[in-house]
Amino acid sequence: MNNIITKLFDIKHPIVQAGMVWNSGWKLASAASNSGILGLIGAGSMYPNILREHIQKCAAATNKPFGVNVPLLYPNIEEIMQIIVDEGVKIVFTSAGNPNVWAHWLKEHGITVIHVVSSVKFAQKAELAGVDAVVAEGFEAGGHNGREETTTLALIPMVCKAVSIPVIAAGGIATGRGMLAAMILGAQGVQIGSRFVASTESSAHQAFKNAVVAAQDGATQLTLKELTPARLLKNKFYDDLIELYQTKPTTEELKALLGRGRAKKGMFEGDLEEGELEIGQIAGFIDEVLPVSTIVENIVNEFNIASRELSNLTLE
Amino acid sequence: MNNIITKLFDIKHPIVQAGMVWNSGWKLASAASNSGILGLIGAGSMYPNILREHIQKCAAATNKPFGVNVPLLYPNIEEIMQIIVDEGVKIVFTSAGNPNVWAHWLKEHGITVIHVVSSVKFAQKAELAGVDAVVAEGFEAGGHNGREETTTLALIPMVCKAVSIPVIAAGGIATGRGMLAAMILGAQGVQIGSRFVASTESSAHQAFKNAVVAAQDGATQLTLKELTPARLLKNKFYDDLIELYQTKPTTEELKALLGRGRAKKGMFEGDLEEGELEIGQIAGFIDEVLPVSTIVENIVNEFNIASRELSNLTLE
């Protein structure tokens, strides 16, 4: 397939491996890029010097294009962006913030800029800010999420109607069938997160990967709407959060419970009780940890089988 | 298309017009059935004698199959079910309750029984109860909704994997593209609600139809989770509800605000301030009130265009 997304990133398949905190280091990103999709390093969980190291190792491990995801709500953004430019990264995905501040500067440095949005309004703002494409991410996605709670199935057609730049669908997609469904709705590519958490090359702790595989329908919940909404795997920390919610907590009390390092503790160190475990609803459909190359192969095969089926689907 | 759903209901297209309170009377159901899809009368908003009248008028207005949707949480279920049998209705969709109690009795009376579910667990229970198919309805759907908040894109593949009976997808579907996406995910048919609220033949008040057309992304919210979760169009009543939620209300206080007749007041009488307005997220994509026959024609055309377009898509 040769389309506007494969051309934009110079990749084989219009698939992006999401840049996820504590999951997407150079091993995952380079494995993704080497499999013909776009690999992204997740800068959100990295100190600037760690990010530099991951970019350098990723560049050494693949000669294919890769990018960096930068959540704009994290600190040290100036330093992070300077490192990205200095290290010659050509593709940046910004998320969780206003793209206006950075899109122009990054593009002046010759960088392709994509912004992650959760609503029509934010997609239009991103287009006005001059980004090259948007990732439109539905309510079912893991991690940080939109307040409108619009699902991928509803969001994609609305965003595609509202903007002229390419739309990459995210949230609830882990298979070739999910990818084809998103493209039927008008997306020109997909971003896949949860499926790559449960990959051999993800830097997630093995215990977290196992928890993703074990997760069933109903295992996650969008919460922390007063701070930044996040979809979490239900565990003891989540139960503590729900108990605190019963007392009608202030934002400060929520922040105090959340504390520091919860996401690292859960996803990177494997503390399934006290850690914050960010994952999408589609975890309920993922039942095996696989190498990235196998995941991509499976998606390609499923996509082709499903698209062949379409030629027989006609309403008369 | 000739598939397990068209055969089950003896209809032309595997599409069900959802039975919705205050929207789906005999006019909507017969127009749907006359357009080659399955029309459903929504019994949830009808006293038993009113339901009898609608069934008789529907039977007079179409010689095609139609059915009745019965939310099991409403009162008078015994009387309602007896009328359905007496009037010779051949298809019943049950929702919002446990199908165990009624599936067997209805099937003994020669009736095809479908149950609406929002999770894998409930789909498996419905299959065990002996229903002929399930409607798997995602978080984006209007009206009553599941506590797991699983979206259509995530729910359909999980339910299809978990049960052997046919799966009809619902929630977020208003176009031929949405229908095709649902079928690629494994559904054998779709149930469409919001799109038919904004139809000429719906019994919704014109003011509510206009509000659905005006709705944008983010216009709805799932609320009332302590009673029965429902997705509502945001209006003054919704704001009052949110204000009450700030006071950490008891279930009784919520019930008191909800009161009686809120749904009728909003959807049927057109009081957009004080009424309860149930609608799905995809309302944001609906921009015109159309006759049912045109809606079905558009869905068929979009479906065929999309399936032709995408059958050429191959990942290499």
Label residue A248 by pLDDT band (50, 70, 90): confident
CB-based contact B184 A183, cutoff 8 Å: no
The answer to whether residues B31 and B215 touch, using CB atoms and an 8 Å cutoff, is no
> Burial of B78 by CB count in 10 Å (0-12 exposed, 13-18 middle, 19+ buried)?
exposed
Cβ contacts of B296 on chain A, cutoff 8 Å:
none
CATH architecture assigned to A4-204+286-310? Alpha-Beta Barrel (3.20)
Strand, coil or helix: A199: strand
Q: Which residues of B touch A184 (CB under 8 A)?
A: 177, 180-181, 184, 306, 310
Q: Does B175 touch chain A (CB under 8 A)?
A: yes
User: Considering just the CA atoms, what is the radius of gyration of chain A in Å?
Assistant: 18
- Alpha-carbon span A60 to A23, nearest angstrom: 19
Q: Kindly report the nearest CA distance between residue B232 and chain A, in angstroms.
A: 13
- Pair of tokens at residue B100: 């165990």
Secondary structure in 3-state letters for chain B: CCCHHHHHHCCCCCEEECCCCCCCCHHHHHHHHHCCCEEEEEHHHCCHHHHHHHHHHHHHHCCCCEEEEEECCCCCHHHHHHHHHHCCCCEEEEECCCCHHHHHHHHHCCCEEEEEECCHHHHHHHHHCCCCEEEEECCCCCEECCCCCCCHHHHHHHHHHHCCCCEEEECCCCCHHHHHHHHHCCCCEEEECHHHHCECCCCCCHHHHHHHHHCCCCCEEEECCCCCCEEEECCHHHHHHHHHHCCCCCHHHHHHHHCCCHHHHHHHCCCCCCCCCECCHHHHHCCCCECHHHHHHHHHHHHHHHHHHHCCCCCC
Mutate to test the interface with B, among A151, A285, A298, A314 (most CBs of B within 10 A): A151
Q: Is the pTM of this model over 0.90?
A: yes
A177 touches chain B (CB under 8 A): yes
Nearest residue in B to A183, CA atom: B310
> In the predicted model, is pLDDT for residue A316 greater than 90?
no
Would you give per-residue pLDDT tens digits along chain B (316 residues)? 899 999 999 999 999 999 999 999 999 999 999 999 999 999 999 999 999 999 999 999 999 999 999 999 888 899 999 999 999 999 999 998 899 989 999 999 999 999 999 999 999 999 999 999 999 999 999 988 999 999 999 999 999 999 999 999 999 999 999 999 999 999 999 999 999 999 999 999 999 999 999 999 999 999 998 888 999 999 999 999 999 998 889 999 999 998 889 999 999 999 999 999 999 999 999 999 999 999 999 999 999 999 999 888 899 8
- Judge: B217–A158 Cβ closer than 8 Å, yes or no: yes
Determine how β-strand B220-223 pairs with β-strand B230-233: antiparallel
Closest chain B residue by Cα to residue A147: B218
Query: Are the CB atoms for A64 and A95 separated by under 8 Å?
Result: no
The interface residues of chain A toward chain B in range 262-291, judged by CB-CB distance below 8 A, are 280-282, 284-285
**Chain B contact present for A295, CB below 8 A:** no
pLDDT in tens, B53-91: 999 999 999 999 999 999 998 888 999 999 999 999 999
Residues 106-145 of A with CB under 8 A from B: 119-121, 138-140
Helix (H, G, I), strand (E, B) or coil at A234: coil
Hey, CA dihedral for A22, A25, A31, A34, is it positive or negative? positive
Of B151, B176, B183, the CB nearest to A152: B151
Q: How far apart, in whole angstroms, are the C-alpha atoms of residue A93 and residue A18?
A: 9
Task: Choose, out of A183, A192, A315, A316, the residue to mutate when testing the contact with B (most B CBs < 10 Å).
Answer: A315
The CATH superfamily of B4-204+283-305 is Aldolase class I (3.20.20.70)
Of A154, A306, A313, the CB nearest to B1: A313
Asked if B144 and B228 touch (Cβ cutoff 8 Å), the reply is yes
- ipTM of the prediction: 0.97
Domain extents for chain B?
4-204+283-305, 217-281
Which residue's entry shows tokens 């969001």?
A155
Query: H or E element: which one contains A295?
Result: helix A292-310
Evaluate whether B311 touches A183 at the Cβ level (below 8 Å). Answer: no
Residues A155, A159, A165, A167, Cα dihedral to 10°: 10
Q: Which of residues 244-263 of A touch B (CB under 8 A)?
A: 248
Nearest chain B Cα distance for residue A119, angstroms: 7
SS3 A162: helix
* Interface contact A310-B310, CB threshold 8 A: yes
For residue B238, the distance in angstroms to the closest alpha carbon of chain A comes to: 15
